[in-house]
Amino acid sequence: MQKLHSIIWLLLLVNIVKAQSVSIYKTDSFRINQLSPNFVFDTLINYKKETLALADWKGKPVIIDFWGTHCLSCLKYDIPNLENFQTRFGDSVRVLLIASNSLEKVSRFYESRKKANKPLVLPCAIKQAVFDYFQIKELGTHVWIDDQGYIKAITDYSQVTEQNIAAFINKKEVHLREKEKLSAIDFKRYIVTVANEMDSNNVLFNSSLTKYLKGKTTSYPYFLKNVGTHLEATNVTIGLLYRIAFGDSTGLVPYNRWVIESAHPETIKMPPNADFNEWRKDNTFCYELRVSKEKQHEILKIMQDDLKRMFGANVFFENRVQKCLVLTADKNTHIQADKTARPKVSYNAEGSSVINLPFAKFFDTIDHYNQEKIIFDETGITENVTIALDAQMNDINALSEALKKYGLHLEYQDRSIKMLIIGDPVK
């Protein structure tokens, strides 16, 4: 009788596992359809109990998001979307954040959000063993575990949609695209050669301009000083190619200093609601240029000519009035520096700080979290300072308020700025 019960239980288990059809696009992931370990979390934030075991949530599908307080896309897209979905689907799904940071740092982040009246509702755990088990290399990775504890997919943010979650909850057929495992391209070989070996159709232009190369990382030269005789960029947008080509010795044209004036801006920059994995197939490219030593001082101009021939855009610089942020200081403001302390800078979304470093280092922390805005430092402060801010670094109102403590003011002003204009071809 006991043996019969065991056979019946085994058959039931097999039927349960097969009940939900989750199709995964072809990958080499080795965890899919395996039973997840029963991880036990005892370092928790924003959870009703002191400990949580995955087995506690058996019977409910689970989505795990691996994130960090320094991950801009996590804070801007992933977490808000997950919170909306948790509210939308309620008790029918469990969402757990697992942070790459220390408990202290994540606790401060949650507390700062609460003070800013923007509290996080999702629970968060700290456990390196989970990162190790799923071999998480990039933040913003999501693990899908079904209601029986089986790992069904490891994806990026693009697959976390209302339609996919609803199908996953209701055990309907759902197609989830697995997160790609990326590898760096070998620049000892010409990109055009690599592209040709993968698929000869990838090669679009003899001077090494190819379509998107699947499985290759995005890379480009940020610093253009003494670029030399060799320049390459892989899997980048048309807009970024122009920002490189029209850059100078200080670097490529900043993200906040270009304007698209085209009837088809979606071919130059990804639209806000587009699926990046689909969009990039037709709208990102790999470009490589090699010139002789005699021509290396012309390398960016040659790149401009290449882009003109290939894409035909009318690109030029022009002064435009832009709304900018200007950082100023009260008259006679003097910010003390702890000159006995070891110099240190800390980048944190919930509040950055510098210790015994030039004021420019502190300004960099503001600029880092507000890269879409044009910001000027007109404080005139050059000496070392010690400043610690307790505010969301990308919340201008909160940031401005926190700066007042040091006699600093961050305000919007109109300024005439040299902007890179990318327009349609002139007929």
| CATH number of the domain located at residue range(s) 18-176 in this protein | 3.40.30.10
In the predicted model, is pLDDT for residue 4 greater than 70? no
What pLDDT, in 10s, does the model give residues 62-106? 999 999 999 888 998 899 999 999 999 999 999 999 999 999 999
Retrieve residue 316's tokens.
Answer: 């030029």
Query: What digits encode the pLDDT tens for the residues 9-31?
Result: 344 443 444 445 555 444 445 68
End-to-end CA distance of the chain: 86
Q: How confident is the model at residue 202 (pLDDT cuts 50, 70, 90)?
A: confident
Using an 8 Å Cβ cutoff, are 234 and 217 in contact?
yes
φ, ψ for residue 252, nearest 5 deg:
-70, 165
CA distance 252 to 392: 28
Dist CA 197 CA 352 (whole Å): 47
What token pair was written down for 15? Answer: 């039927």
Does 7 score more than 70 pLDDT? Answer: no
Q: Which of 373, 266, 353, 248 is nearest to 303 (CA)?
A: 248
Task: Give me the residue spans of the domains in the chain.
Answer: 18-176, 191-312, 321-420
DSSP state of 20: S
Confidence tier at 227 by pLDDT (50, 70, 90): confident
* Residue ranges in 123-237 assigned as alpha helix (H): 128-133, 162-169, 191-198
* Alpha-carbon gap, residue 388 to 338, rounded angstroms: 12
Cα 28 to Cα 181: distance, rounded to the nearest angstrom: 8
3-state SS class at 356: strand
Radius of gyration of the chain (CA): 26
Structure tokens at 98: 């697992």
pLDDT digits (tens, 9 = 90+) for 101-156: 999 999 999 999 999 998 999 999 999 999 999 989 889 999 999 999 999 999 99
Q: What is the pLDDT of residues 154-171, one digit of tens each?
A: 999 899 999 999 999 999
pLDDT digits (tens, 9 = 90+) for 341-391: 999 999 999 999 999 999 999 999 999 999 999 999 999 999 999 999 999
pLDDT at residue 1 greater than cutoff 70? no
H/E run at residue 94: strand 94-99
pTM here is 0.67
- Please report the pLDDT score of residue 186 as a whole number: 81
Q: Contact at 8 Å (CB) between 152 and 32? A: yes
How far apart, in whole angstroms, are the C-alpha atoms of residue 422 and residue 261?
6
